[in-house]
Amino acid sequence: MKYDIIVIGSGPGGYVTAIRASQLGFKTAVVEKESLGGICLNWGCIPTKALLKSAQVYDYLKHVDEYGLKAEAIDKDFDAVIKRSRGVADGMSKGVQFLMKKNKIDVIDGFGKIKTGKKVDVTAEDGTVTEYSADHIIIATGARSRQLPSLPQDGKKVIGYREAMTLPQQPKSMIVVGSGAIGVEFAHFYNAMGTEVTIVEYMPNIVPVEDKDVSKQMERSFKKSGIKVMTNSSVESVDTSGDGVKATVKTKKGEQVLEADIVLSAVGIKTNIENIGLEDVGIVTDRDKILVNDWYQTNIPGYYAIGDVTPGPALAHVASAEGITCVEKIAGLHTETIDYGNIPGCTYATPEIASVGLTEEKAKEQGYDIKVGKFPFSASGKAKAAGTPEGFVKVIFDAKYGEWLGCHMIGAGVTDMIAEAVLGRKLETTGHEVLKAVHPHPTMSEAVMEAVADAYDEVIHL
């Protein structure tokens, strides 16, 4: 069967790409070996947020007295929490099925492997192989949990994020290795549900890609909630021969052995580029990534790649944007390249983290003369009334021209606030323009304006 465009993989990169291609008039098909929506909808972004919401509600219930309320016999049902999360994921996957039908996109079930001549072999579950062809083939096969030699995953005692979402019973203790978004989100969830959690992070700070002030605040908040944090540390080996797991951890003070029911490995991702025909077609890769140009074309005409398999940030919204850019370029539309310096990052633990642009440290390294403003949520009327005074908004501006270089937030609901900074930076706004844009009161978002005011020595409420 012949198509204009075949997309391999139906995650937030793949299915969005397919829909935009169909909107542009291309006869489109999607190849998917598992569930529509990919990892994000089924085993990542969406079901983890459902788990975190359950943890948030449970935490509220445990602290109702702080809101002048009373509740007795507060408890949790771990199985029901997991079941709710899976239900949300299943509903979202069915939503993607509906979108495929609505946009007249053919869904081909099976494992896709590219061939020369712009062809794709799809192996069905029963082993049957069917060949398809297209003018354009877009690879969007995503990534999976990365395994370290010192931390082999057995799916039971040493697990990845997929198993962490469907454990048959809640562990009494857990070691989380790695403190990126996946690590801290699961650390928060299990801690909130009552599991004793220890984070082991190789770098000097947890959430190491964030501004150092944000990392320090997150560590304080986690320690306050009872999570043990070990930085400048690495797991050298694990022993799963007993009832639980013994992890040998190397620290600056020497080695120590930690014991827990389960170890969660959250040390990054590994791209799904094996056995998909890259070598047969001659597509160039480097360090586990498919190399592409600004329009996501590989070195072989007619073959493209987007999302986690390419060198850009491994984020769902990036994959979606790349796919849209890719097919709009194929269609001959006037389109802009993606500004990877203006990609927001969000972490959905409690407190939440959201950031975009340069950290203070990076801005200085790049030679900027900067103005830095910071406004704590402890001075926010809305945050105090909501009982969520932890965290702050931090902004960084170029002192010479007023360019908004970076924005870093930690606190309740900040993942819904960061878009102001992303849009402002896209429109090349200046600090004074943000300051003079009237923000509503009382809101969490007015902390952005207050932080800008602090940068320009005009802050009122601090």
Q: CA-CA distances (angstroms) from residue 261 to 163, 176, 357? A: 14, 11, 39
The residues annotated with a catalytic role in the active site are 441
Q: Which two tokens stand for residue 453?
A: 């005011």
Q: Binding residue per annotation — 181? A: yes
The residue type of 396 is I
Determine contact, residues 159/262, Cβ cutoff 8 Å: yes
Determine contact, residues 304/296, Cβ cutoff 8 Å: yes
Q: Binding residue per annotation — 182? A: yes
Choose among 246, 250, 248: nearest CA to 234: 250
Q: Binding residue per annotation — 178? A: yes
Choose among 318, 340, 346: nearest CA to 410: 346
Q: Binding residue per annotation — 308? A: yes
Q: What is the DSSP letter of 179?
A: -
Q: Binding residue per annotation — 59? A: no
Q: Binding residue per annotation — 183? A: yes
Q: For the beta carbon of residue 301, count every other beta carbon within 10 angstroms.
A: 9
411 bridge partner residues = 352
Q: For the beta carbon of residue 217, count every other beta carbon within 10 angstroms.
A: 23
Classify the phi-psi angles of 113: left when phi > 0, otherwise alpha if psi is within -120 to 50, otherwise beta.
Answer: beta
Q: Binding residue per annotation — 185? A: yes
Q: What is the DSSP letter of 279?
A: H
Q: CA-CA distances (angstroms) from residue 442 to 12, 196, 381, 384, 447? A: 35, 37, 6, 10, 10
Determine contact, residues 418/406, Cβ cutoff 8 Å: no
Classify the phi-psi angles of 311: left when phi > 0, otherwise alpha if psi is within -120 to 50, otherwise beta.
Answer: alpha
> Using N-to-C axis directions, what is the helix angle for 78-102 and 45-62, rounded to 10°?
140
Determine contact, residues 141/9, Cβ cutoff 8 Å: yes
Q: Binding residue per annotation — 180? A: yes
Q: Binding residue per annotation — 268? A: yes
Binding-site residue positions for NAD(+): 178-185, 201, 268
Binding-site residue positions for FAD: 49, 112, 308
Binding-site residue positions: 49, 112, 178-185, 201, 268, 308
